Amino acid sequence: MSTDYLVNITIPMLEGAKITILLFLIAIAFSIPLGFFITLLSQSNNKVISGISKSYVYVMRGTPLLLQLLFICFGLPMIPVIGEYLVMDRFVAACLGFILNYAAYFSEIFRGGLLSIDKGQYEAAQVLGFSRSQTTIKIILPQMFRIALPAVSNESITLIKDTALLYAVAVPELLHFAQTAVNRDFTIVPFFIAGIIFLLLTLVLTAIFRWLEHKFKFE
Amino acid sequence: MTIIQVSNLQKSFGQLSVLKNITFDVKKNDVIAVIGPSGSGKSTMLRSIIHLEKVDNGSIRINEDDLVKNGIYPNDRKIKQITHKMGMVFQHFNLFPHLTVKENLEIAPLVVQSEKIEIVRKRSTEVLEKVGLSDKANVFPAKLSGGQKQRVAIARALMMNPDILLFDEPTSALDPELTGEVLKVMKILAQEHMTMIVVTHEMGFAKEVANRILFMDNGEIVESGSPEQLFSNPKNERTKSFLTKAYQ
């Protein structure tokens, strides 16, 4: 097996990895704020609003991501009357699916962070005269994000691997090119290369989150 | 001059009546120690004064303003305005763990009162010096001992220039060897004529620093008086029995 061959099959896979990374970045950038918003809704005193938030999380966590992706890509366009307006670019559709799904997980992570904050923090803020929104922004949220960080890190690593699900909706990403090379050349080497690329991505992510956790250690 | 007037305070949690007709006054510069067995309603009474608990009936007047009158509270803005002149120190410190000592002190004056940063800086330096923690200004609470944390909590309360300071068992969560440093700071405040209400199990402190003792049991003020009178010549049987146990 020549070096040329390795380079030849790796280049398209790296191209595919670009899609993987792009999807990852878009999903993270939108699902974290959306997840946080869902957390806030879940804390609402209004039963309808908190109910909507809970149902959303239940549905998104309770069904496979793959099913959700297939539904958005192929299911929505089949809906009578409005279906024709719901045809999206596959990549856009996939991004939407990932954002909606991961937002549910992130919202639960943030909710866990909120629950673990001692009620003494709220009382201290109250006697110092903080308003509700000042308490949330200055006292509660920074602590919530810090508590959530390890779980967010874990979820992000899951996300980068889940991007492989793009394969199922025929968006050419890393795994697609690996599979193509395997079929064409009858060799398992591309699978190893794909694995190594995923490991490298995970390594970078792990390092970033380690750094964040260290930076926000509050010690 | 009376600055807190509590009358006929009543509160229950379901069937359990935790405050039964609590009535007492606090005069300016008073240091009042509230003693009594666990579950006697001391903390609930204290927390009611700063609106961390709502009472069912009775009145609390602070600086001539009604925080609650016959069980009826004014709107939130008014409540905030009335409780604003009080500070509180908690048993478990409740420092903000994501902020350094200095930031813990400065956040409320900056965020709540929108004071100028130079003024706040200057005051935090002075207050930290007062509690003996100037060298810990840039440290996070996680790195402090319990006694140091409680001194920071006192400093944080002082930053708001309160007229009245409430202490809810400030030394109960501390190792015995660390209570001294906290009590020392509280003594200094008393000498500077800060009006204080201190819920405490530290009989020595109550005797030495307070000018009046309230003994509570079972949701009532059973007996109140000067430390001399209450400690050496308690009139009520329950007070006697509590003090005997406390000194065993």
Q: pLDDT tens across A143-196, in order?
A: 999 999 999 999 999 999 999 999 888 888 888 889 998 999 999 999 999 999
Query: DSSP letter at A84?
Result: G
d(CA B236, CA A210): 62
A62 touches chain B (CB under 8 A): no
Mean pLDDT (chain B) is: 94
d(CA A126, CA B114): 16
d(CA A172, CA A166): 7
Query: DSSP letter at A165?
Result: G
A139 touches chain B (CB under 8 A): yes
Chain B residues interacting with chain A (CB cutoff of 8 angstroms): 50-52, 80, 83-84, 86-88, 90, 92-98, 107-108, 111-113, 140, 142-143, 156-157, 160
Contact list, B108 vs chain A (CB under 8 Å): 128-130
How would you classify the pairing of strands B31-35 and B212-217? parallel
Give the percent of chain A with pLDDT over 70.
Answer: 100
| H-state helical runs in A3-46 | 3-42
**Structural domains of chain A in order of their starting residue, each with its CATH number:** 3-218 (1.10.3720.10)
3-state class (DSSP) for residue B244: helix
Q: Which helix (H) or strand (E) holds B19?
A: strand B16-27
Instruction: Calculate how close chain A gets to B180, using CA atoms only, in Å.
Output: 23
Residue type, B13: F
Tokens of A125: 């803020």
Query: pLDDT tier at A27 (50, 70, 90 boundaries)?
Result: very high
3-state class (DSSP) for residue B63: coil
Give residue for tokens 């660390």: B178
The CA-atom distances, in angstroms, between B20 and each of B11, B12, B39, B42 are 7, 9, 13, 12
The pLDDT value given to residue B135 = 96
- Which of B82, B96, B127 to mutate to test binding with chain A, by most A CBs within 10 Å of its CB? B96
The pLDDT value given to residue A217 = 87
Q: Do A143 and B97 touch (CB under 8 A)?
A: yes
pLDDT at B244 over 90: no
Instruction: Calculate how close chain B gets to A143, using CA atoms only, in Å.
Output: 6
Query: DSSP letter at B28?
Result: T
Give the percent of chain B with pLDDT over 90.
Answer: 92
Contact list, A130 vs chain B (CB under 8 Å): 108, 111-112
Express each pLDDT in A73-84 by its tens digit. 999 999 988 888
Q: Do A129 and B160 touch (CB under 8 A)?
A: yes
The pLDDT value given to residue B246 = 81
- Which of B46, B50, B94, B113 to mutate to test binding with chain A, by most A CBs within 10 Å of its CB? B94
Query: What's the rounded mean pLDDT across residues B171-188?
Result: 93
pLDDT at B141 over 70: yes
Contact list, A218 vs chain B (CB under 8 Å): 97-98, 140, 142
Contact list, B50 vs chain A (CB under 8 Å): 127
Give residue for tokens 């190893």: A192
The pLDDT value given to residue B245 = 85
Q: Do B95 and A124 touch (CB under 8 A)?
A: yes
- Which of A128, A138, A215 to mutate to test binding with chain B, by most B CBs within 10 Å of its CB? A128
Q: Which of A127, A142, A146 sits opposite B88 (nearest CB)?
A: A127
Q: Picking from A106-110, A180-184, A207-211, which range would have the lowest pLDDT averaged per residue? A: A180-184
Query: pLDDT tier at A18 (50, 70, 90 boundaries)?
Result: very high
Q: Do A134 and B52 touch (CB under 8 A)?
A: no
pLDDT at B247 over 80: no
Residue type, B31: V
Q: Do A120 and B108 touch (CB under 8 A)?
A: no
Total CB pairs under 8 A between chain A and B: 59
Give the percent of chain B with pLDDT over 70.
Answer: 100
pLDDT at A45 over 70: yes
A214 touches chain B (CB under 8 A): no
Of B208, B64, A193, B156, nearest to B198 by C-alpha is: B208
Express each pLDDT in B47-84 by its tens digit. 999 999 999 999 999 999 999 999 999 999 999 999 99
How would you classify the pairing of strands B164-168 and B57-62? unpaired
The pLDDT value given to residue A83 = 85
Query: DSSP letter at B69?
Result: B
Terminal Cα-to-Cα distance of chain A (whole angstroms): 53
Contact A127, B86 (CB under 8 A): yes
The pLDDT value given to residue A1 = 66
pLDDT at A213 over 90: yes
Contact list, B92 vs chain A (CB under 8 Å): 118, 120
pTM exceeds cut of 0.95? no
User: What is the sign, positive or negative, of the torsion defined by CA atoms of B232, B236, B242, B245?
Assistant: positive
Residue A115: how many other CB atoms lie within 10 Å: 10
Query: pLDDT tier at B96 (50, 70, 90 boundaries)?
Result: very high
Mean pLDDT (chain A) is: 93
Tokens of A50: 């908190």
A4 touches chain B (CB under 8 A): no
Contact B46, B33 (CB under 8 A): no
Of B36, B48, B37, nearest to B11 by C-alpha is: B48
